[in-house]
Homo-oligomer: A and B are copies of this chain.
Amino acid sequence: MDILPKSLEDLVKILNEIPGIGPKTAERIAFFIVVSKSDFIEKLLNSLSKVKSEIKVCSECGMVSDSDPCKICSSSDRDKQIICVVEKPNDVLVIEKTEEFNGVYHVLGGVISPIEGIGPRDISIDKLISRIVSNNVKELFFALDPDAEGETTLSFIVSIVRKMNINLTFTSIAKGIPMGGNIEYSDPFTLSKAIKSRSKIEY
């Protein structure tokens, strides 16, 4: 007997669209939402409505925020001449938590990936270039995942900026053995990078 109510089936399908949530997990979440006491569904609905009405995307950097421009872009304490290029809003969040970076961000909204059909036009590169020009940016700091897509995106942006004859320093987040990690079990690519990028010990 086909017993899953239509509206619940639809919810499962929608939840299944979220990356990382497979059909089984979507079903489990949908059932949790429906059967949980304490009016969970009411809370979730209110929260989503609030997010929908309050959250904006910063027209400057592309970060999600409750103001436009966002707190970082509108802060006078941040150095607008250093732009950290990231793939997605979550990356801004984790970098901010380190309190190690005092420039501004640029969220590309993706990385170039021919396999997934994502080209340079699909991510926020044009806006980045115009920000570089208008803010007289001195350093472009790439904090992209160290994989094929990240490296491709990095070299694409670097090549475009170079062609424009802009005097700019390009930097990239360091690749190496993670803190608490293990040299013995590091993969050879990481180890190669870590050896090539070895740094002088200062006393």
Contact surface of A with B, Cβ cutoff 8 Å: 1-8, 10-11, 14, 17-21, 25, 27-35, 40-45, 47-52, 54-55, 57, 63-66, 70-72, 75, 88-90, 92-93, 96, 109
| Contact A65 B31, beta carbon cutoff 8 Å | no
A35-B57, A44-B48 given. 11 additional CB < 8 A pairs? A3-B93, A8-B64, A11-B47, A19-B28, A19-B32, A27-B90, A30-B51, A33-B51, A34-B89, A35-B89, A45-B52
What is the CA–CA distance of A43 and B50 in the complex, to the nearest angstrom? Answer: 15
| Contact A14 B44, beta carbon cutoff 8 Å | yes
Chain B residue with minimal CB distance to A102? B1
| Contact B51 A90, beta carbon cutoff 8 Å | no
Copies per assembly: 2
Q: Which of B6, B47, B64 contacts A35 (CB 8 A)?
A: B64
Q: Separation in Å of the A137 CB from the closest CB of chain B? A: 20
| Contact A93 B4, beta carbon cutoff 8 Å | yes
In the bound complex, residues from chain B placing their C-beta under 8 Å from that of A18 are: 29, 32-33
Chain B residue with minimal CB distance to A30? B51
Chain B residue with minimal CB distance to A109? B35
